Chains A and B, each alone.
Chain A
Amino acid sequence: MADEDALDIWPPPGVTGPPLLSEKFDRRIITGIRHSVGAIASAAGLAGQRLDDFILAVNEMMTNAVRYAGGWAG
């Protein structure tokens, strides 16, 4: 569910090319997004401890967002 609003901050400094994943999420789908992040990051070449760390970091950011922000407007 790519959304133009979500891409306003793209690209971050020093990054070229399209985002590999752009999704809105809520509590119900953090597990599924985490799986997608793992598959995409792995396909992009991340492996081992760096891959574990990246998946965990994204998971914790999503978890904090759904716990303390709650969801998207509208």
Chain B
Amino acid sequence: MTSPELGEHISFPFDSDAATLSFTAGFVANGIRRHHRVVLITHALAPADLHALLAARVPAFAAAVDAGQVLVLPATAAQLLGGSFDPDRMVTDFDVLIARTRQDGYAGLWVSADMSWATPDVPGVERLFDFEAASSARLVGGPVAAVCQYDRRLFDAAFVDQACARHPLTPGQAPLRFAANAGPGVLVMSGEADLTNREALAAVLDPLAGMEDDVTVDAAAVRFADAGAAQLLARLAWRRAGRRTEIRCSPAIERLLRAIGADNVAQVTIEPAYG
């Protein structure tokens, strides 16, 4: 996961300085090699300290910083700008960053954020989980890949688990990948859906509920969906009652959907497919 594809939203929980540094070094090296702009947001370490550590580990690092390909920013200039966390400002700032990335000729933007700033005393931090989930949806099909690094030594286990469930991808947990390039109203998903990425799936499906046109969720390449994920798919069809919703999935998921009554919803088609 140190070499994500654009559109991916990854959480990386870590429990040692060595683990986060090794991940970040791999991420930067891959980003440089793949000609993306790489933005590192740091909090536990001062930007100059992170810069020195990475310069010692990634051969091309200093040159990439000089060339403007890699930016190292403190969280106080990003998520914590003005001393509070404001998701709306984050979205605006990212749009600017994306536009600049395009102007500067990079194919995509890779962001890695040290989330150590997200302590309970930060104003606005109560909006973080919604922002994380919404980011999973916003990133699909776009030119950004983002990694959120959570220090397990700093946050309690339940907080980190809740944060991870809002990312489709977490190392060692069920991986979900999405593509939105199959046409309007078509969401293609692959991987596995369980409790460890449920809120991310809910957020990615959410915008489909309001679409007037036909919607197809092509989940043929989903190897496993738990009952909660099946419920989210059924709920999408139910919210769209009266408008066509097609769900393509494996025979196993088809049986699960029928078992929970998803086929009783008006205008739903559940199409068995072999992924």
Binding site for B on A (CB under 8 A): 26-32, 34, 49, 52, 55-56, 59-60, 63, 66-67, 71
Contacts and interface: CB of A to CB of B under 8 A. Distances in A.
Interface residues of B, number: 16
A31 B226 contact: no
Contact of B256 (A26, A56, A67): A56
A27 B195 contact: yes
Given A27-B195, A63-B194, 18 more contacts: A27-B161, A29-B172, A30-B194, A30-B195, A31-B174, A31-B196, A34-B224, A49-B252, A52-B252, A55-B224, A56-B226, A56-B256, A59-B194, A63-B226, A63-B227, A63-B228, A67-B195, A71-B157
B252 A31 contact: no
B176 to A, nearest CB: 11
A30 B228 CA distance: 14
B194 A28 contact: no
Interface string B180-216: 0000000000001011100000000000000000000
Interface in B155-177: 157, 161, 172-174
B227 A28 contact: no
Main secondary structure of the interface of A (DSSP, over half): helix
A55 B252 CA distance: 11
A60 B226 CA distance: 7
B217 to A, nearest CB: 19
A65 B224 CA distance: 19
B252 A66 contact: no
A15 to B, nearest CB: 26
Interface of B: 157, 161, 172-174, 192, 194-196, 224, 226-228, 252, 255-256
B227 A31 contact: no
A8 B208 CA distance: 48
Given A63-B226, A63-B228, A31 B256 contact: no
14 contacts: A27-B195, A28-B196, A30-B194, A30-B196, A31-B192, A31-B194, A49-B255, A52-B252, A52-B255, A55-B224, A56-B256, A59-B226, A60-B227, A63-B228
A47 to B, nearest CB: 12
A35 to B, nearest CB: 9
Contacts of A26: 157
A70 B194 CA distance: 16
B252 A27 contact: no
Nearest to B256: A56
Contacts of B252: 49, 52, 56
Contacts of B255: 49, 52
Contacts of A71: 157
B227 A27 contact: no
B193 to A, nearest CB: 10
A34 B256 CA distance: 17
A74 to B, nearest CB: 14
B259 to A, nearest CB: 10
A56 to B, nearest CB: 7
A29 B171 CA distance: 11
Given A49-B252, A63-B195, A67-B195, A28 B226 contact: no
Nearest to B192: A31
A71 B158 CA distance: 10
